[in-house]
Amino acid sequence: MAKKGGDSRVVHVFDCADVGATLVRAARGQGRPWSYLPARDTSREGSGPLGRVRRLGGVAGWTAKRWSLTLPADLLHIHFGTRVDIATRWPWRPFVVHFHGTDIREFYQDPRQRAKIQWGADTAQAVFYATPDLAEYALEARPDAQYLPNPVDLAELPAWTPSAQPRIVFASRWGAAKGGAEQLELAARLSRAVAGTGIQLQGLNWGENAGRAAELGVELVPTMDKVAYLAWLAEAHTVVGQSTGLLGMSELQAMGIGVPTAVNVRPGLYPDVVPVIGTGAVDEQVDSIVAAAKDAAATAAGLGARSWLAEHHDPAKLVQRLASVYSAVTPGGSRAV
């Protein structure tokens, strides 16, 4: 396959939390011949005869785009482990697999899904995983799987504009995957702690425990698109992350906006000291979250979260690392210097 400037031509297929789109955008900024193919948009297809016509047209259009991007490609970068069957369709190309969470943590344990995910891990030229907690699962499927931190494009984030009334925002859906019982306990403790202070508690109306969160005093807001979601985070005085000890994309984006972000980070998962608040026992978490909401600007200034993100989650740096892997696993490739 032809290459431009020695770079592999790579198509990022599908996506998760805009990781693929962000990486491709950064790669194109470096002049690399990478492309992006998200999943087919089915939101306007509808039902009935007209819906079937729209669906057939959508499938045909998406397939044509897949062919046009894949034919000149050297490699596919497939996001989410259950979607590897795309690699079995013509035109065939070598591929890498990128695990994002539920695919390898949960679906890999399901006998109905495991064989497909394992085939992808075995057949892929390389395997990546998006958060450090996934190592135990990803390395079981592929012993040489590599941790690739999620990219955070600081330039796309809105300015931090805290609302007039102090506001604590729960950034994640309410459910077991995000901490479940611990999430609700923290919400209950915070609700009692802010009573009479004028501090709002807000969260998404999303997840199996959302109703319980509302009962505890959290004002629920509808789910929204990415732009609106980031704008909502930017109005917070403090963002409360998931109760799993991890930095997901929402937590990273809140940190990048500049909002003091509370995550009880698991020891040893991340390099250096992670610039978050809300670590320790529940009482300590509550105290630091409420204190940050009362003096958000001073708290944020002392954290330096954006500098930490630029060091560990910069898309341009991650693209360079990926380019080196791509070149090593494609025919005629050579490692980037």
CATH number of the domain at 10-151+314-329, please?
3.40.50.2000
Taking the C-alpha atoms of residue 95 and residue 33, their distance in angstroms, rounded to an integer, is 16
156-215 pLDDT per residue, tens: 999 999 999 999 999 999 999 899 999 999 999 999 999 999 999 999 999 999 999 999
Do 154-312 and 10-151+314-329 have the same topology in CATH? yes
pLDDT at 271: 78
Compute, in degrees rounded to 10, the torsion defined by CA atoms 159, 200, 282, 208.
-90
pLDDT at 7: 87
CATH class of the domain at 154-312 = alpha beta
Q: What is the SS3 assignment for 100?
A: coil
Contacts of residue 311, defined as CB under 8 A and 6 or more positions apart, other chains included, come to none
Taking the C-alpha atoms of residue 137 and residue 147, their distance in angstroms, rounded to an integer, is 12
Sheet of 238-240: strand order equals 219-221, 200-204, 167-170, 238-240, 261-262
pLDDT at 53: 78
Taking the C-alpha atoms of residue 305 and residue 301, their distance in angstroms, rounded to an integer, is 9
- Does residue 95 or residue 54 have the better pLDDT? 95
Is the per-residue pLDDT at 285 higher than 80? yes
Q: What is the SS3 assignment for 108?
A: helix
Q: Contact at 8 Å (CB) between 184 and 173?
A: no
pLDDT at 48: 77
The mean pLDDT value for 125-143 works out to 97
Q: Contact at 8 Å (CB) between 219 and 202?
A: yes
Please report, for residues 110, 199, 236, 262, the alpha-carbon distance to residue 243 in angstroms, rounded to integers and kept in the order given.
24, 21, 18, 9
Nearest to 117 by CA among 90, 151, 145, 147: 145
Q: Contact at 8 Å (CB) between 200 and 157?
A: no
Average pLDDT of every residue of the chain: 93
Going by pLDDT thresholds of 50, 70 and 90, the confidence category of residue 334 is: very low
Is the per-residue pLDDT at 141 higher than 70? yes
pLDDT at 58: 79
- pTM exceeds cut of 0.85: yes
Which percentage of the chain shows pLDDT scores above 90? 87
Is the per-residue pLDDT at 336 higher than 50? no
| b/e 217-250 (16+ beta carbons within 10 angstroms → b) | ebebeeeeeeeebbebbbbbbbbbbbbbbbbbbb
Total Cβ atoms within 10 A of residue 268: 7
Is the per-residue pLDDT at 67 higher than 80? yes
pLDDT at 294: 96
Rounded to 5 degrees, φ, ψ at 21 are -60, -40
The lowest-confidence range among 42-51, 61-70, 189-198, 229-238 is 42-51
Q: Contact at 8 Å (CB) between 173 and 239?
A: no
Going by pLDDT thresholds of 50, 70 and 90, the confidence category of residue 6 is: low
pLDDT at 309: 96
Q: Where are the domains of the chain?
A: 10-151+314-329, 154-312
Q: Contact at 8 Å (CB) between 44 and 54?
A: yes
Q: What is the SS3 assignment for 170?
A: strand
* Enclosing H/E stretch for 233: helix 226-234
pLDDT at 335: 29
- Does residue 51 or residue 290 have the better pLDDT? 290
Q: Which two tokens stand for residue 308?
A: 């930490």
Total Cβ atoms within 10 A of residue 206: 17
Could you identify the residue written with the tokens 């403090």? 238
Q: Contact at 8 Å (CB) between 84 and 73?
A: no
Taking the C-alpha atoms of residue 274 and residue 181, their distance in angstroms, rounded to an integer, is 24
